Structure 1
Amino acid sequence: MSEDLPLDTVVALLDDEYARSILTATRTEAMSANELTDHCDASLSTICRRLEQLEAANLVRERTRPRADGHHDTIYVATLEEFRLRLDDEGFTFNLRYRDEDAADRLKRLWGDL
């Protein structure tokens, strides 16, 4: 999915209780899939499926969290700031506004482009 998401894709994602719970939880704190299973009271497979859909729609972003043991965790943070839906003579239109990315996110995106 790209930034030119169809309205039905956005609405379907936001209609899902687990997707909404993931977005709400990761808005203020980056969380791993395992942490989200506890927070959302859902199975790991359900959380992973929703995270995949949300990431494809650019509504969450993946990050890496280093651990003291030298390993790392994959964590997720919500990128969606606002969803606006408008009805006019030509039908429905919508706008998504994303949270500003921080310096680490910009560096990761730029490095990935190389």
Structure 2
Amino acid sequence: MDVSEEPTLETVVGLLDDQYARTILTAVSTEHMSATELADHCDCSLPTAYRRLERLEAAGLVAERTRPRTDGHHDTVYAATLDQVAIRLRDGQLQLTVERRDDDPAGRLADLWGDL
């Protein structure tokens, strides 16, 4: 899926039906976490965490960020971009609306400094 495209109803419902994906999504909504941290948090294997992160990222529900470390290296962490999902039944059809968090560069810089 092209990141600029909206995810389909089936994609979002399928992701939200998966316990690991839900746990990852809710965890990164409050704190940026690495795949290793998420695997520990979800009590799952690292490959399982990466598969769920890949699916969530492809749907545009999470995004990668860089977390600098004091030793000069950096960690890849994940942050939720999802703010709200709404499913409506209108005129005999289900309609999906995905609202994302504002993710401006100034906000990311503030998050970065807050993490230091």
What TM-score do the two structures reach when normalised by structure 1? 0.87
User: 2:75 is matched by which residue type in structure 1?
Assistant: D
Structure 1 residue ranges without an equivalent (≥5): 108-114
Shift of the alpha carbon at 1:91? Answer: 1.1
User: 2:48 is matched by which residue type in structure 1?
Assistant: T
Q: Distance in 2 between matches of 1:50 and 1:21?
A: 10
- 2:11 is matched with 9
Could you say which structure has the higher helix fraction?
1
Asked if 1:34 corresponds to 2:39, the answer is no
The CA deviation string for residues 3-28 of structure 1, in whole angstroms up to 9 with x for no partner, is 33221111001110011001100001
**Cα root mean square deviation, aligned:** 1.7
Q: Distance in 2 between matches of 1:44 and 1:77?
A: 17
What TM-score do the two structures reach when normalised by structure 2? 0.86
Structure 2 residue ranges without an equivalent (≥5): 110-116
Shift of the alpha carbon at 1:69? Answer: 1.3
- 1:100 is matched with 102
The CA deviation string for residues 17-41 of structure 1, in whole angstroms up to 9 with x for no partner, is 0110011000010000000011111
Q: Tell me the secondary structure at the aligned position of residue 75 of structure 2.
A: strand
Q: Distance in 2 between matches of 1:106 and 1:32?
A: 16
The CA deviation string for residues 66-100 of structure 1, in whole angstroms up to 9 with x for no partner, is 11111110000001000000012231001000011
Shift of the alpha carbon at 1:104? Answer: 5.2
